[in-house]
C-alpha cells in the first residue's frame, strides 16, 4: 500500500499573521479569524482548509468522471466547515458540507445519469469520510448546471 506525505509551512509574518508556503513557494498571508484575535481582510487557516477540501473533492470527482468517460465543461466545489468552540482546549469541527456544481459537455439524460453515478462514488470513497468516520457529519450536494 502506498503512503504519501504532504507538507506545508507557516512563518509568523506580523502580529498574528503568517505567510503560508508549499514547496518553498509563498501561497498566501493568513490571519486567524477575527473572533480569535486575527485581522480582518485576510484568509483564515479555516478558509484555507475548506478550500483545500473543495480542491480534493474536485480532484476526486474528475478522476471518477474521467474513468466513467463523463465529459465536463466546468466544475466547482464549495466546502463549508462548521466549528464549535468549547473553550481554549476544545475547538472541534462539527460538520462539513460539499456542494459540487458541474456543467456537462453534453447535457443528455445519459450524461446526467453518469454524473449522478460519479457523485455517488465520490460520497462513498471520500477520503475525509474514510479518515474521520461518522464523527463529523459530511453532506454532499450535486448541482448540474
Q: Which residues contact 93 (CB under 8 A, 6 or more apart)?
A: 81, 82, 83, 136
Q: Please, what sign has the CA dihedral across residues 14, 20, 26, 30?
A: negative
The distance of Cα 106 from the centroid of its chain, to the nearest Å, equals: 26
Q: Which residues contact 115 (CB under 8 A, 6 or more apart)?
A: 65, 70, 102, 104, 142, 144
Whether 138 has a pLDDT exceeding 80, the answer reads: yes
Paired with 74 in beta bridges are: 103
Q: What is the pTM of this model?
A: 0.90
- The pLDDT, as a whole number, for residue 89 is 84
Mean pLDDT of 126-136: 85
- The pLDDT, as a whole number, for residue 133 is 77
CA-to-CA distance for 97 and 141, rounded, in angstroms? 8
Whether 88 has a pLDDT exceeding 90, the answer reads: no
pLDDT class of 22 with cuts at 50, 70, 90: very high
pLDDT class of 140 with cuts at 50, 70, 90: very high
- In the block, cell 507557516 appears at 10
Boundaries of every domain in the chain: 1-43, 45-144
CATH domain 45-144 topology: GMP Synthetase; Chain A, domain 3 (3.30.300)
Whether 17 has a pLDDT exceeding 90, the answer reads: yes
Amino acid at each position: 500500500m502506498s503512503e504519501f506525505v504532504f507538507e506545508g509551512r507557516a512563518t509568523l509574518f506580523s502580529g498574528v499573521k503568517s505567510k503560508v508556503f508549499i514547496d518553498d513557494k509563498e501561497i498566501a498571508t493568513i490571519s486567524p479569524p477575527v473572533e480569535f484575535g486575527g485581522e480582518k481582510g485576510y484568509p483564515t487557516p479555516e478558509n484555507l482548509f475548506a478550500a483545500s477540501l473543495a480542491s480534493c473533492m474536485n480532484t476526486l470527482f474528475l478522476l471518477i468522471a474521467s474513468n466513467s468517460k463523463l465529459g465536463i465543461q466546468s466544475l466547482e466545489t464549495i466546502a463549508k466547515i462548521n466549528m464549535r468552540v468549547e473553550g481554549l482546549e476544545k475547538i472541534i469541527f462539527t460538520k462539513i458540507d460539499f456542494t459540487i456544481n458541474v456543467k456537462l459537455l453534453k447535457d443528455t439524460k445519459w450524461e446526467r445519469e453518469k454524473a449522478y453515478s460519479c457523485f455517488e462514488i465520490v460520497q462513498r470513497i471520500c477520503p475525509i469520510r474514510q479518515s474521520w468516520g461518522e464523527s463529523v457529519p459530511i453532506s454532499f450536494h450535486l448541482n448540474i448546471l
